[in-house]
Chains A and B, each alone.
Chain A
């Protein structure tokens, strides 16, 4: 346990051992003041009605053959059986997993490296932080169209490769089934690394420099200090960054739609783009709801596992 944490826990322990003050009885049974729970009631009701009930009704439609208009029949698990028996849809599930975990790994590694590099010392760190964070504030769809232009067959990337004598490296990046998914992942990582960097910078700000200096004096090398001091102290940041990136990676939509439209020939379809296509293009609302439910359950399970893996073990 770190010194800082020890001090914080001691303070908490003191507070918890103090005798509780007797609760003040309200003068009137109906008298209320600010801070009472039911002031949140309208918002809670709206949230339940507009979000949770909508999700629940969506889940209900997953067991129907509703087409968005007219009546529907209850068809049990037929939609779910179709999902797992259709190669195109299992391919979309596989792509979602690749993008979700790839996004999680690359954004966190790069974000942490940038955060460590720009945490202290470097004079231009503030400017570099701004530059790295800037892609985050641009709309994903706009970023995707810029990259679509870059990746185009006669786009800047191939032109640069040609200009420096690497013509054999030129590719039709978004059309090659082996490269298209990787190209989508590159765009996602490029745009979101800045966000992860900021989360880690916030975490690194809580690591006292004196502690690292003391460890250095005691002979701990850079990697040892990173493993034994930095990582444990930024554990909450790791939990937040990995959770957010995992969820974002699984529900990726804009970038796929703008860069490849799910192509070539379905090679970059994800569960999210399939939900959109089945529901709003093909008007298979029931089937689209089933896909959405699968996606939600997948995110839920993976997030629980991930939360467990990154829990605070101190």
Chain B
């Protein structure tokens, strides 16, 4: 059986052509608001499909600015870095986007600003709204490119009621030695004060960072700048040795659950719900997520990690997620106005409450959710430091800290090994 020559030739040509058109169609799904001066797009990342905070923010802006249209686009959190980077590289990124502070992630201020993809925010009032400690993470070469959406404490998500029932007391004024002295008795009951997901470098890393906030950044808030200028190294900083020694001491004293080095987040969830652990290391927004899931059956609070005796405890205040604009947006003024709107006091409070976080800007204790009341004094007294990782050169340094901390627990690494790994990662 044969076909007429023309049809056969057409068929041969049509197949690659159709494939090319399909591929072109795949690549043309841009999210940019286009030429409509009243329409912009907003892409945000969320692990929870029912998360409405950015949708509410967009609706509030549209209500306050009749005629403006904001098209929202939710991206699954685990795909956000790759999706946003690819869109921005392809030139079809959103006008406004969810973004990470610092340079440790793909979709971060440092990474995208260096590539010239972000819109400089020129409104001078923005710099006064953003806490001075957070400006570094949202700037690149002195230019502001983004604003944080809320603040959280990177500390201990703690069940104070269950801990007290087991005879354990930890307060914001406790020291590391106070905690360690209580671990043995708890371990004897088959429980642990802290749960650690050691198989996840981010969880080991956040714990070490919480201690380092007091031992490193407490005495030298400019440590990151010193490291960037090669005035110091991880290995040569006593505070880093102190922080990692604290991890070893906590482990030796049985402060973590059995099998901590290989545990995942599922272990933390199971043990927390069974009362086998009293706290774990996470951004404080987790308090709300868990309390909401438990429908009020669990009451959690946020606490800073107690510093070693003789060192003042500083809380880790992290505002590492925010919003930034696309440099290629057709409506840069609208983009900047929307970003500014997101940190207005009313919106910042609404956003923070929905996320179980602390509002951006000047905060009064009446603005705080119940889980933050024990640390209201530390917040008021500004006894906090920003999350040091936000000022690090790249994500490998934090990964080296996380995997190295787990290595300290398994005995694979020494403190010097870990700090050398971090220095090498910083320079890579």
Nearest to B410 among chain A residues (CB) is A264
Residues of B12-63 whose CB lies within 8 A of A: 12, 15-16, 19
The distance in angstroms between the C-alpha atoms of A177 and B300, with both chains bound, is 35
Chain A 159-174 interface mask (CB, 8 Å, partner B; 1/0): 0000000000000111
**Known interface pairs A69-B117, A152-B262. Does A265 touch B412 (Cβ–Cβ under 8 Å)?**
yes
Assembled-state Cα–Cα distance A262/B267 (Å): 18
Which one of B193-201, B220-228, B310-318, B363-371 is at the interface? Answer: B193-201
Q: How many whole Å from B138's CB to the nearest CB in chain A?
A: 18
Q: In the complex where A46-B16, A69-B112 touch, is A33 in contact with B2 (Cβ < 8 A)? A: yes
Interface: B333 (CB within 8 A): no
- Say yes or no: B111 contacts A263, CB within 8 Å: no
B198 A264 Cβ-Cβ under 8 A: yes
Is A235 at the interface (CB under 8 A from chain B)?
no
Collect the chain B residues with CB atoms within 8 Å of residue A46's CB. Answer: 16, 19
A281–B399 touching, CB < 8 Å = yes
State the CA gap A295–B406 with chains docked (Å).
Answer: 27
> Could you tell me the distance in whole angstroms from the C-beta of A284 to the nearest C-beta in chain B?
8
**Given A152-B259, A175-B262, A281-B395, residue A263 in contact with residue B112 (CB < 8 A):** no
Within 8 A of B (CB), among A25-39: 30-34, 38-39
Q: Is the CB of B262 within 8 A of A172?
A: yes
With A38-B12, A263-B201, A265-B413 in contact, is A174–B262 under 8 Å at CB? yes
- Given the interface contacts A34-B1, A67-B111, does A264 sit within 8 Å of B116 by beta carbon? no
In the assembled complex, B125 has its CB within 8 A of some CB on chain A: no
Q: Is B394 engaged at the interface, CB distance under 8 Å to the other chain? A: yes
Nearest to A269 among chain B residues (CB) is: B403
In the assembled complex, B10 has its CB within 8 A of some CB on chain A? no
Q: Are A175 and B395 touching (Cβ within 8 A)?
A: no
Contacts between chains A and B (CB distance < 8 A), count: 113
Partner of B261, one of A33, A71, A175, A262: A175
A63-85 CB mask vs B (1 if < 8 Å, else 0) is 00001111100000000001000
A67 CB, min distance to chain B CBs, angstroms = 7
Closest chain B residue to A31, Cβ basis: B2
Decide yes or no whether B428 CB sits under 8 A from chain A. yes
In the complex, which residues of chain A have a beta carbon less than 8 angstroms from the beta carbon of B395? Answer: 281-283
Q: Are B106 and A283 in contact (CB under 8 A)?
A: yes
Smallest CB separation, B174 vs chain A (Å): 28
Closest to B405 in A: A265
Is B89 an interface residue, CB under 8 A from the partner? Answer: yes
For residue A42, CB closer than 8 A to chain B, the reply is: yes
**B-chain residues with CB within 8 Å of residue A265 when the two chains form the complex:** 403-404, 406-407, 410, 412-413
Instruction: Establish whether residues A264 and B261, one from each chain, have CB atoms under 8 Å apart when the complex forms.
Output: yes
Check if B396 is an interface residue, CB within 8 A of chain A: yes
A282 vs B88: C-alpha distance in the bound complex, in angstroms?
Answer: 17
Bound: A41/B11 CA distance, A: 11
Q: From residue 396 to 428 of chain B, which have CB atoms closer than 8 A to chain A? A: 396, 399, 403-404, 406-407, 410, 412-413, 421, 424, 428
Residues of A within 8 A of B198 (CB): 175, 263-264
Query: Cβ of A70 and Cβ of B262 under 8 Å apart?
Result: no
CB–CB B407/A175 < 8 A: no
Instruction: Please determine whether B412 and A177 come into contact, CB atoms closer than 8 angstroms.
Output: yes
Would you call A70 and B428 a contact (CB within 8 A)?
Answer: no
Whether B16 pairs with A42 at a CB distance below 8 angstroms is yes
Indicate whether A260 reaches chain B with its CB closer than 8 angstroms: yes
Are A70 and B259 neighbours in the complex by a CB distance under 8 Å? Answer: no
- Asked whether any CB of chain A lies closer than 8 Å to the CB of B164, the reply is no
A298 to B2, CA, bound (A): 47
Smallest CB–CB gap between A149 and chain B, Å? 9
B133 interface residue, CB < 8 Å from A? no
Instruction: Report the separation of the CA atoms of residues A198 and B68 in the bound assembly, to the nearest whole angstrom.
Output: 63
Q: How far is the CA of A110 from the CA of B116 in the complex (A)?
A: 56
Minimum distance in angstroms from B244 CB to a CB of chain A: 13
A contact residues around B1 at 8 Å (CB) = 33-34
Closest Cβ of chain B: how far from A131's Cβ, in Å? 29
B237 on the interface (CB 8 Å rule)? no
Contacts of A283 in B (CB 8 A): 81, 85, 105-106, 111, 395
| Residues of chain A lying within 8 A (CB to CB) of residue B380 | none
Residues of B within 8 A of A177 (CB): 410, 412
B298 in the interface (beta carbon within 8 A): no
Question: Smallest distance from the beta carbon of B273 to chain A beta carbons, Å?
Answer: 15
**Residue pair A174, B199 in contact (C-beta under 8 Å):** yes
CB-CB under 8 A from B12, the residues of chain A are: 38-39, 41-42
Contacts of A282 in B (CB 8 A): 394-396, 399
A-B contact pairs, 8 of them (CB 8 A): A38-B12, A39-B12, A42-B16, A70-B116, A153-B259, A260-B199, A267-B412, A283-B395
With A152-B267, A177-B412 given, name 6 new contacts (CB 8 A): A67-B111, A177-B410, A261-B201, A264-B406, A265-B412, A280-B81
